[in-house]
Amino acid sequence: QVQLVESGGGLVQAGDSLRLSCAASGRTFGSYDMAWFRQAPGKEREFVAAIRWYGSTYYTDSVKGRFTISRDNAKNTGYLQMNSLKPEDTAVYYCAASSRGHYSDYDGDYNYWGQGTQVTVSS
């Protein structure tokens, strides 16, 4: 079992930055792939970024060049650095972990989820 807790969300203005954290407890976080998803009001949950246990990263097109996913396995923590935020980035952001052993942008492939953290970007 892996327990995930997100933090770092908040209310910011367009163009600002935020860094989300995902603290993991339980089994060794370093052996899991990790991802961030988000869900805006009235919309389905969507993939944002993923990082394999060994460090390869993937991003949805809308955040490439603005967001950076990373992890510190020694601290059992994952991060999402979000720069140049836009109002359309407003959503609840969830971190997720997968033991399936392959990259995926499908939320059904992730075994463990945090409770989410709200990010609101005003124009």
pLDDT digits (tens, 9 = 90+) for 28-67: 788 899 999 999 999 999 999 999 999 999 999 999 999 9
- Residue whose tokens read 């923590």: 77
Return the pLDDT at 27.
66
What are the strands of the beta sheet with 18-26, ordered from one edge? Answer: 2-7, 18-26, 77-82, 67-72
Q: Burial letters for 45-67: b for 16+ Cβ neighbours within 10 Å, e otherwise? A: bebbbbbbbeeeebbbeebeeeb
| β-strand pairing of 10-13 with 117-122 | parallel
Return the pLDDT at 30.
86
Structure tokens at 77: 């923590």
pLDDT digits (tens, 9 = 90+) for 67-120: 999 999 999 999 999 999 999 999 999 999 998 888 899 999 999 999 999 999
